[in-house]
Structures are given as structure tokens and as C-alpha cells.
Amino acid sequence: MHKETSGSARQRQDVLTALTVAAAALLLALSLNFVRPAFAETDELITTADQVKDASEAAGVDLYHRGFYEAAMKVWKRAVEEKQDPGAAFRLGEEYFDAKVVDRSMTDAVKYMMIGAEGGDPRAQMDLGTYYDKGWGVKHDRELAARWYKAAADNGKPDAQYNIGTMYEDGEGVEKNLKLAYAYYLMAAKNGFPNYPAEAIQRLSKEMEPADIKAASKMAATMMKSQPQDPLAPAAAAESMK
């Protein structure tokens, strides 16, 4: 029997689809614009993984943007093997999912996203939440989706703040809590996530008591104070402690 999807859940799926399309377009643009080396006048142009002394996410990104995809993958793998670099793990998971420069492998995508998520990278936490939300490469599990969306949201990622808001609103994977839903929607809006949070706030404003809205607003302000201004700061902090 078909189960009617709630408005907020439908919006979450629309957001996930839009983000996937946007990410694919961005990666295509990067590959077209950076195929040739960008630093031709440097003393030594790094074009291979062996030339990279300190493997990191950033070193791999430099190679990737200049079209040296295989070298970038090798650098990211070294960064994960040597340092458990969460950002490098996210990049690998992204590549194995997007299948632009390697064959798609959901096993590897999940493996590396898990490393990145557990290492504190909010991008990996968001994507891992999406995998569980949609059942991509893992068993569909709304509780785990909510767990990873919330982790990314609490690390300041606005799209994750919106997603966990929908789950609190609908009681999917978490106990229904309109005040928390309102608080996360408010954070997503204040952090620049467009359109959907404003619509959700307007919708909930019609259902909630003024006192609950005031309490939710205070909750959002308190949570935002504890979140990093840079959503990637948790991953960087985790890396610096190793």
C-alpha cells in the first residue's frame, strides 16, 4: 500500500535531489576548467602522488582540480591510511559515489563516508545521513539517518539542520518535537540555507503556541553559540589532535 509522504519529508527529498545535481554540476565544471596545470611557473609542478610529501585533503584537491585524478585519489588514500584524515575520507567517498573518475562502488563510498563522519567531517556526516535516509549502499534506517544529520547539523551544516528539522517535525527516526524542529529550521535559515526553512518556519508558526516559539528561538540561539563558524572546523580540530 502506498504511504502518503508528508510535506516536510517530500521537501527533504527535493533538497537531497537538488544537492546531488548541484554537486555533479560543480564537479563537472571543475574538471572542465582545471584540466591543465594551474601553476606552470612554479619551480616544481606536482603532478603525481609520489611528489606529495604530506598527504592531505588539500593536497589531493589541488591535484584533482588540475586534472590529475588518479594522483588525487592516491593522495587521499594515503591521507586516510596514514592520518585517518576525515576530509580525505569524505573526498574518496564522494568519488566512489559520483563515479566520475572511478567506477561506482557503494561499498567504498560507505566505507570512506563512515571514516569521515566518525572523524567529525560535517560533509561526510550529511552524506552518510543521506545514504541511510534513502537506502543507498546501506539498509534504509531513519534512526541512523537522523543521527548523522544531527551530527552534521550540530557541526553547523545548514542543509543538515534543515533535514533534521524535518525529521523532528514528522517524528521520523526521532521522537516528534516541534520546538526542536523550529529551532533547527531557524538555524538553517540564519546559516543561509534558502527557501525551505522559511517555508517550514511559517508552517510551524501556525501550529505552535507563542510561548513554544519563543522557547524554540532561545534554543536555536544557544545551540548556534556552540557551533563552529566554519562547518569544517570540527574535522580540522580532530585532525590537529592526532
- Identify whether 27 is part of a domain: no
- Identify whether 170 is part of a domain: yes
196-204 CB contacts, 8 Å cutoff, 24+ apart: 196/11, 196/14, 196/15, 196/162, 197/161, 197/162, 197/165, 199/11, 200/8, 200/11, 200/162, 200/165, 200/166, 200/169, 203/7, 203/8, 204/169, 204/178
Q: By percentage, how much of the chain surpasses pLDDT 90?
A: 70
Query: Which range is least confidently modeled, 44-48, 58-62, 140-144?
Result: 44-48
Buried b (16+ CB within 10 A) or exposed e, 73-85: bbbbbbbbeebbb
Kindly give, in sequence order, each residue whose CB lies less than 8 Å from that of residue 98, ignoring residues fewer than 6 positions away.
23, 24, 27, 104
User: What is the total count of domains within the chain?
Assistant: 1
pTM, two decimals, is 0.79
Q: By percentage, how much of the chain surpasses pLDDT 70?
A: 76
- Identify whether 38 is part of a domain: no
Q: Which domain holds residue 215?
A: 139-227
